[in-house]
Amino acid sequence: MSEAKAVRIAILGGAGLMGAGIVRDLISDRAIVPIAAIRIADVSRPRIEALIAGLGDRRLEAFELDVTDPARLAAAVAGVDIVINAVPTLLGHQMAIFEACLAARVTYTDLGGLGTYTVRQKAMHERFRAEGVAAVIGTGADPGMSNVICRAVADELDTVDRINLYWAAELVGPENPVLVPPYSISTVLAEYARPSTQFLDGRHEECAPMSGREVIDLPPPWGRSEFMYSPHSEQLTVPLADGIRDKGIREFTWKLHLPHREHEAWVGLVKAGFGDFDDPVAVGGASVRPLDVLSAIINRNIERHRDRIPAQESHEIHFAIGRGTRAGVPATARCEVIVSPDPMYRDYVDAATSMNASIAAQLLLAGTAKPGVWAPEEIFDVPAYFAEMRKRNFRTSLDIA
């Protein structure tokens, strides 16, 4: 570990599912930089206190945060070396937090979130650069690690015709009679119900929800898997990045595959109208959001039937396929990361997202940060990043054909 001065970190949404995982990785023996304090800023005081008590690390500080209170938000980001924004993107607070870090001149990073704010954030690059403030947007697994594997394939090619990026999950074990969301319910619904922007024939185009169907044969346990376009931020940044754009890229897509039965459930919910999850409906004279109703029902169902939920192992594969030329001849570069069940991940809801956010923040603190607003493929060194992933038992490979 570096002999540099110990740093102070603030995690907004730090007691949530992703935030808690980031905290766990930061205080582990995998730390890249010495850490003096971690400020856990969250709306729920009981959740903060439970996390701190469970982890028992004296560097953890509680900070109750109402992100809609500008003064409280300013205090949450003050006096630290980096802010990790783990507040769910679709709650709508991302730009307020982003602006607060610029005002405080504090390095900023977030978990992205379907590309909802990516264009607006990138448009502030010159403001951040002029103020000497670094921001890296989308630093979880997808986006985040996925952007880095796209950089890896682009670096292996002299010219790039296209890069196609995929993420697939598969569950191994008895079928679950209870629907357990793989991550935020609003995120899954948005992935299935909202149009996506893909980079096709050299320009960004809007594509219909659940379009771009493609079947790929993968190794076990995934097998024959059907993918679809999904709204994400990678396609908004990767084809425009230096070292990729200038290699002539004409196509960049991002596609999703969830386990078959879970896929059918989400398709059914969208067909039933839950895709408009933020559009209130009148029920018995009250105005309610479909998302609030669905979340309450799903969470109640999980609690009521917890004894029926079988043990299942979740397997993920993230892979990018780049096609172009190398040394004057056609070439294909394929980079993949496999995340399989591991005892290291026992206390994590989503180890890939949490651990990658921790990796990104620590690499920035270790000296990678530079003023401006960046996507991961623009700022992280691929070998250094991959070395950190391997420390966390993510299996990486890069093949050229």
Q: Are residues 314 and 194 in the same domain?
A: yes
Q: Are residues 162 and 120 in the same domain?
A: no
The answer as to whether 40 is a domain residue is: yes
pLDDT at 1: 45
Going by their DSSP bridges, the two strands 82-85 and 7-12 should be labelled as parallel
Mean pLDDT of the chain: 96
Q: 111 near 357, Cβ under 8 Å?
A: yes
Which pLDDT tens digit goes with each residue over 152-176? 999 999 999 999 999 999 999 999 9
Residue where a domain stops, chosen among 307, 323, 345: 345
Q: Are residues 301 and 353 in the same domain?
A: no
The answer as to whether 218 is a domain residue is: yes
Lowest-pLDDT choice from 87-96, 207-216, 290-299, 316-325:
87-96
CATH number assigned to the domain comprising residue 184: 3.30.360.10
Name residue 42's beta-bridge partners: 64
Q: Are residues 137 and 151 in the same domain?
A: no
Going by their DSSP bridges, the two strands 82-85 and 60-64 should be labelled as unpaired
The answer as to whether 1 is a domain residue is: no
The answer as to whether 226 is a domain residue is: yes
Q: Are residues 275 and 232 in the same domain?
A: yes
Residues 6+ away with beta carbon under 8 Å from 296: none
The angle, 0 to 180 degrees and rounded to 10, between the axes of the packed helices 185-193 and 260-269 is: 80
The answer as to whether 401 is a domain residue is: no
The answer as to whether 399 is a domain residue is: no
Q: Are residues 319 and 354 in the same domain?
A: no
Taking the C-alpha atoms of 343, 259, 195 and 93 in order, what is their torsion angle to the nearest 10 degrees? -30
pLDDT at 2: 42
pTM of the predicted model as reported, rounded to 2 decimal places: 0.94
Q: What is the DSSP letter of 144?
A: B
Q: Are residues 211 and 131 in the same domain?
A: no
Which pLDDT tens digit goes with each residue over 348-377? 989 999 999 999 999 999 998 999 999 999
Strand, coil or helix: what is 280?
A: coil
pLDDT classification of 3: cutoffs 50, 70, 90? low
Domain ranges, residue 312: 145-345
The answer as to whether 2 is a domain residue is: no
Structural domains in the chain (count): 2
Q: Are residues 161 and 120 in the same domain?
A: no
Q: Are residues 108 and 181 in the same domain?
A: no
CATH number assigned to the domain comprising residue 367: 3.40.50.720
Q: Are residues 251 and 335 in the same domain?
A: yes
The answer as to whether 112 is a domain residue is: yes
Q: Are residues 49 and 176 in the same domain?
A: no
Q: Are residues 19 and 117 in the same domain?
A: yes
Residue where a domain stops, chosen among 323, 345, 367: 345
Which pLDDT tens digit goes with each residue over 20-55? 999 999 999 999 999 999 999 999 999 999 999 999
In angstroms, rounded to a whole number, what is the distance separating the alpha carbons of residues 20 and 13?
8
Please compute the mean of the pLDDT values over residues 245-257 and round it to a whole number. Answer: 98
Query: Looking at the predicted structure, is the pLDDT value of residue 181 above 70?
Result: yes
Q: Measuring CA to CA, which residue among 280, 282, 253, 277 is closest to residue 266?
A: 277
